[in-house]
Structure formats: structure tokens, C-alpha cells
């Protein structure tokens, strides 16, 4: 628990980070630094995208797997790291 907190804090203190969300494999958020509405929205949408992205990667090469996904938008960047049971989402505004 402490390690989780500590890592989250470390990530949060990076420059420009707006929020961190830990989500389980089904898309249900576990822990988040954003408000509930945004958390749920991010978790739900990104879960679908993640499934799709992972499917693409494995479709092209079944031995391959998705390790990191970065979505760059005008206002910020969303970074997603998937795993078997969980995935972690970090939202950063890099141009500040």
C-alpha cells in the first residue's frame, strides 16, 4: 500500500502531471487523483482503446504484446501502461 502511494506520489510530482488513475482489467477504477466523473470517463474509454490496441499488436504478431500507449492531444498527453490485471493511466500537460 505504501509503495503504491509512494510511486503515485513520485509520478504526481513530475512536471505537468494532471492526474493518475489505477484501473483494473475490466475498466473499473481502483484509485485516482481526479474527481469521480472524470475518472470513470477515462477508465471506461481507455479500457476499450486498450483492448483494441492490444488486439492490433497481437494480431500482427501473436508473440508480441502491448507495453505502452501514448495519446498526444492538443492540450495534453495520456499515457497508458497495460498489464495482465491492471492498467495505469497518467495525464500530463507537457507544454506548460
Partner 1 sequence: MNDSEATLQKNIPLAVMPPKRPKSRVIKEKEKKNETPDEGASESAHPEHIFPLVLTSVTQELFGCRADEDVTGENPYKLLRKEDIVQDMKTRAAVSDFSPVKHIVLEYPEDELLLVFDRDFTYGQCFYLVLTVEAKDNMMKSPAQADDDEEPMKDEEEHVMEPKTPESHPWISQGSEQEIEDESLTHARPRLRYKISPLMRHCGAPVCFSDGNDGYVECSSYEDKSFSITRMERDTSIQASRDTTHSSTQTLWKYPKNMCTQYEPREFSPEEKEHHLRSENLKNFITSVAIRFERSLQQNVISDVFCDDWTVLCEDDGVPTGKTETQLKEYQSFMDLHFSREKSISHVHWHPSISGVIAVAMTERLSLEERIDNSTKLLLNPSYILFWSFTDPINPQLQLECPEDVLCFQFCPSDPNIIAGGCINGQVVLWDISAHVERLQDTRSGGDNISNNLDKDDVIPVVRYCAVSGIENGHKAPVTDIQWLPETFELSRFGIPVENSSRICVQMVTCALDCCVLFWDLRLPRAVSQSLTDVKQKSEEKPPENPHGVPNTFKHLNLTWKPFIRVSLPKIGSTGEYSPLKFSFRDNTVDYITGDKPPQDAEREEVCGFAQLRVPSAKQQKPLENISTKLYVGTEDGELVYTDWKMEKDNDSGRLFSAKPTHQFLAHHTLVNTVSRSPFFKDIILTVGSFGFAIWKEGVMSGPILMSACSKVMCTIGHWSLTRPALFFIGKKDGTIEVWDLLQNTHEPSQTQNISTASITCIRSSSSCGKHHLLAVSDRIGTLHILQIPWTLRKSSNNEKKNVRKYFEKEEERLEYFEKRQIKHEKHKKEMEAEQLKKKTEPAVPLKPDEELEAEALKEYEQFLALEKIVLKNMGLLTDTIDQSDL
Q: How far is the CB of 61 from partner 1 (least distance, A)?
A: 20
What is the nearest approach in angstroms of partner 1 to the Cβ of residue 93? 9
Element (H, E) at 49: helix 36-60
Shortest spacing between CB 22 and partner 1, in angstroms: 7
- The only residue of 52, 55, 58, 70 in contact with partner 1, by rule CB under 8 A: 70
Find, among 39, 43, 52, the residue nearest to 87 by Cα. 43
**Pick from 26, 35, 59, 61: which binds partner 1 (CB under 8 A)?**
26
Burial of 60 (0-12, 13-18, 19+ CB in 10 A): exposed
Among 48, 52, 65, 94, binds partner 1 (CB under 8 A): 94
Cα gap 27→48, rounded to integer Å: 8
**Residue 29 binds to partner 1 (criterion: CB under 8 A):** yes
Amino acid at each position: 500500500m505504501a509503495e503504491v502511494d509512494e510511486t503515485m506520489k513520485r509520478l504526481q510530482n513530475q512536471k505537468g502531471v494532471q492526474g493518475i488513475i489505477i484501473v483494473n482489467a475490466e475498466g473499473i477504477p481502483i484509485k485516482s487523483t481526479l474527481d469521480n466523473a472524470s475518472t470513470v470517463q477515462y477508465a471506461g474509454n481507455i479500457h476499450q482503446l486498450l483492448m483494441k490496441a492490444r488486439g492490433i499488436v497481437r494480431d500482427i504478431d501473436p508473440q508480441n504484446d502491448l507495453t505502452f500507449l501514448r495519446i498526444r492531444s492538443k492540450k495534453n498527453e495520456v499515457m497508458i501502461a497495460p498489464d495482465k490485471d491492471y492498467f495505469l493511466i497518467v495525464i500530463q500537460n507537457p507544454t506548460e
